[in-house]
Structure 1
Amino acid sequence: MTATFATVDDYIGSFPPETQEILQEMRRTIHRVVPDAGEKISYQIPAVTAKGRVIVYFAGWKHHVSLYPVPDGDEDFERLVAPYRASKGTLKFMLKEPVPYGVIETVSRHLLDQHGASA
């Protein structure tokens, strides 16, 4: 990606309408989990913050959307994220398949809990 974006809205607006809808729903899902969430562009992708610290990143691509970082978790958590794990810290959701927003919510909650415990 060579473009630079000033805001998360600019970033999302750079995608085709169908992808914009998915990214907006990812954004809403994360915001429901993260109280008083902030947003910024970091590493040229959207980052959702709490108390000034990045909790989770999300991004759009040509054929998928992604969520980062994905923490390790217990067996139930690992079973939940396994079908979408693209690498140790990345979940990839293909655009041609329904996006599992419940998984995004669970991962966001897990990340928020981790950050809360380490703060």
Structure 2
Amino acid sequence: MGDAATSIDEYLARVDPAFRAELERIRRLVTRLVPEVEEAITYRMPTLKYGDRALVYFTASKKHMSFYPSSWAIEALRDSLSGYKTTEHAIQFTLDNPLPDELIEELVRFHVREIDGSNDGR
């Protein structure tokens, strides 16, 4: 399987080029929405962190990609996700059925509010 990637750029360099472009689109979108995100690799996945917490993860598999915006965001926006396979923590999508920018924005904004709310209580 090889060595684990140590940066998002290194991870993306190993991904199928068609999937890479889609994951880079998500990376740019989240970074534009939340400019203060920090990049990391967590659990072998590209991670964009906000407020010292994982905001989103994203990955590529052989046949699909996954976006991990938080279980709370998935539950809150479940009706908007009916066209996608979901787990408690992930939304799976393909090049034929990508996640629209507006949906990614809603998921990210929801999770930012959750993080900000939990940081207020400290």
- 1:60 corresponding residue in structure 2: 60
Structure 2 unaligned spans of 5+? none
Contact 2:8 2:40 in 1 (8 A): yes
1:53 is aligned with what amino acid? R
* TM-score where L is the length of structure 2: 0.84
Higher alpha-carbon deviation: 38-47 or 105-114: 105-114
Contact 1:37 1:48 in 2 (8 A): yes
1:95 is aligned with what amino acid? L
Superposed displacement of residue 53, structure 1? 1.6
The alpha-carbon distance between structure 1 residues 70 and 32, as it changes in their structure 2 partners (threshold 3 A), is farther
Query: What's the CA shift string for 1:33-78, capped at 9, x where partnerless?
Result: 22311010000001111132211111111111111133221xxx22
* TM-score where L is the length of structure 1: 0.86
Matched, 1:41 2:60: no
2:71 is aligned with what amino acid? V
> Percent identity, aligned pairs only?
27
Higher alpha-carbon deviation: 97-106 or 50-59: 97-106
SS at match of 2:36: coil
- 2:105 corresponding residue in structure 1: 105
Aligned counterparts of 1:110 and 1:85: Cα–Cα separation in 2:
20
Superposed displacement of residue 2, structure 1? 5.6
